[in-house]
Amino acid sequence: MLPDEIISEILSPALKVSEELFSDTSDVSPFSNYTPSTSDYLLVCKDWLRVATPLLYNVVVLRSKAQTNTLQQVLKTNPEFGLFIKKLRVEGGFGTAMHTILKSAPNITDLSITLSIYSSDGAGGLCKGLPLINPHRIIIVDPHVLKPLKNKHLAALKKTLFDCIRSWSNLRIFGYPHSDPYYSHMPQWAEKATELSQLLAQTQVHTVTFGAISSIPYWIAKLYGIPSLRVLQFQRPLDEKLVVKIESDAQLNKLAKYKRVNKPTHIEPDIAPSLNPFFVPMQFASQETREAIWKHVIFFAIEIFSHRSDMFRLLQSLIPYGAGGITRTLDKEPHLGPSIRRIFTATETTSDKEAILKVLRHTTCLKFLAPAQDPDLQLRITSESFEELGKVAGHSLEELSVSVFYGEISSPSDLQPFTNLCVLDIEGIRLSGIDLGEEPPSDVLKTVQNLRIRAENVALSFTLVELFANISVISRSNANSDVGMPPDVVAHHALLGYNRVFGLDSLRTLVLPRIYHHVYAFEDMIKMHGEKLHHLTLGPLKGIRVLDFCPNLTEMKLLDRDDLGKLAPNSQHHALVKISSPGLPKDADPEEVEAMLDMYPNLREIEFRYLQWPTTEREISKSSIVPLAESFTAFRGLVGTGSA
């Protein structure tokens, strides 16, 4: 059996609410994010229940009427629990229950209270309960400075609160409600500063605290006249610009207390010399192991993921003259070319492009040519350069991301040199025409597992989608001879006598951001390769039920939120585990959502990438998102994620 003191030390980190969160005055509450209930720790055993109860009630955060009513019932049944409450954060009015809570918690030392009170909120309990406590610190949260709320409940609460602030004999610290005055030049800021300074002048407050700030407001001078004021406390570290502003104001400099932003320091570690002077690192390791280790060492050494905008981050860190300098070096020492395995693209200029292409002529063992971070920063090359890249490094490239402008190729054989690709992200390639009598290669991009075909210029041309849909592309003159027929239909006619399936034997992930054009080809491509796919990302579906042709698909990513309702297959899909969508369909109905989910018996996660979840009880009550999310959870306990 552990002593209670040890159990308390063990449980405190899990049950503690940090001071930074408790005192936060941001417009959006830091407690609006989902976190597991800490009360679960009390259910482990009786010892934990006994020790953890005071810790649990030490800091109480109330965000809804349901929470408030529950706490009221607990305190009625166990009034001794109220004695444990030292810090109380109230993010609403919450009706008469607040009177019971405040009456039961005479030991409150820190109170955080919001002025976000609407006409539908009841603040009577707060008005009756606030005079019953005598805190040492009060923090006011007011997110409605630019558009102030006006209603009788808010007016009553402000009057009671201000009266209490004047009468609380223990009050010494005041958390200022308007910490980051982005619009501090507006009149209401000065009005509120005047109002609060006049209020605090009638108290014994000696410290006024500010949260995160981006500037020193001009109206801060209104606080200097508070007789008891000793400190203006800036809780977040200040950058040098704000420090200079403070130091230039003699009165503010006398009162201000702050920390400076820590400047990063680069400390070189002391490395002890080897005890064996003949030691050779990785002497007996395989070549593959050596390359893997040195790759990571070099990446960290040259800060590959810094915010620099060089075209070749790796190479330019080694040779400071850019791609041109690398080219000159390789011309002098061509034996270095095969050592270049990874090239990261970032920006493009005409001069860079020419130098880069010269570099590529030396990279006979290149494995990676793609952006370092932003996938849209592809290297733009001509079709001639693309063909040359295939000849030089097609056998070694494993990942390739390029945009081919003027990217016309006359035969799928031009893709054949890329025999080792696992990831291909390509934009712009189109097919100028294929001779129907040509015997097509059967192993085009045979090793590609991850394929992304981006938006293309489709005017009077046919694209890779047609190629991998096994649609023969006929010449433009022949296409134009089929008067009145859409190009897609003309291409379908060309299937006669040309039925070889092209490559993609290893395909598992397919990304097609735009499928506005050549819908027939897209549907044929999905029919032909769908059984291989585990991940599929698609633009607008155009009414195609892709899941009927992808029985092994485990993850589906939609780029159009309205496609979520159109996605359902004709029969149940047992492989799908995750669906990702930008948001919920417009006018989505919970019953329709449940009917849709019934088609995916093994679905475990729905991700809404751009969903702005309501953060207050009032927003939740008005939101159409919440009932749908509840239907997800009730239906199968699905996990839903999203971001603002």
- The candidate with the shortest Cα–Cα distance to 157, out of 147, 146, 169, 149, is 149
Distance CA 387, CA 51 (A): 72
For 25-44, what is the mean pLDDT? 76
Q: How far apart are the first and last CA of the chain?
A: 47
Confidence of residue 142 (pLDDT cuts 50, 70, 90): confident
Q: What is the pLDDT of residues 337-386, one digit of tens each?
A: 888 888 877 655 444 566 777 788 888 899 988 887 777 778 888 778 88
Model pLDDT, residue 254: 92
Distance CA 316, CA 310 (A): 7
Distance CA 36, CA 281 (A): 47
Query: Tell me, what amino acid is at 295?
Result: K
**Alpha carbon of residue 409 to chain centroid:** 38
Distance CA 439, CA 426 (A): 25
Q: What is the pLDDT of residues 549-600, one digit of tens each?
A: 899 999 999 888 777 777 778 888 999 999 888 877 766 676 777 777 788 8
Q: What is the pLDDT of residues 455-500, one digit of tens each?
A: 654 443 456 666 666 654 433 334 444 444 444 444 443 433 334 4
Q: Which residues in 613-632 are b (16+ Cβ under 10 Å) and which e?
A: bebbbeeeeeeebeebbebb
For the chain, the C-alpha Rg in angstroms (whole number) is 33
pTM, two decimals, is 0.65
Q: What is the pLDDT of residues 519-562, one digit of tens each?
A: 667 777 888 888 999 999 988 776 677 888 899 999 999 888 77
Query: Tell me, what amino acid is at 104?
Result: S
344 — phi, psi (to 5°)?
A: -105, 125
Distance CA 533, CA 535 (A): 6
Distance CA 27, CA 177 (A): 10
What is the average pLDDT value for the chain, to the nearest integer? 78
Q: What is the pLDDT of residues 541-551, one digit of tens each?
A: 766 778 888 99
Confidence of residue 185 (pLDDT cuts 50, 70, 90): low
Residues in the chain: 644
Residues 194/161, Cβ–Cβ less than 8 Å:
no
Lookup result for tokens 């939101």: 623
Enumerate the domain spans of the chain.
534-644
- Residues above pLDDT 90, as percent of the chain: 24
Model pLDDT, residue 38: 73
Distance CA 390, CA 368 (A): 13
90 — phi, psi (to 5°)?
A: -115, 115
Asked if residue 98 has pLDDT above 70, the reply is: yes
What's the CA dihedral at 414, 420, 422, 428 to 10 degrees?
Answer: -20
What's the CA dihedral at 177, 183, 188, 191 to 10 degrees?
Answer: 70
- The candidate with the shortest Cα–Cα distance to 232, out of 220, 241, 249, is 220
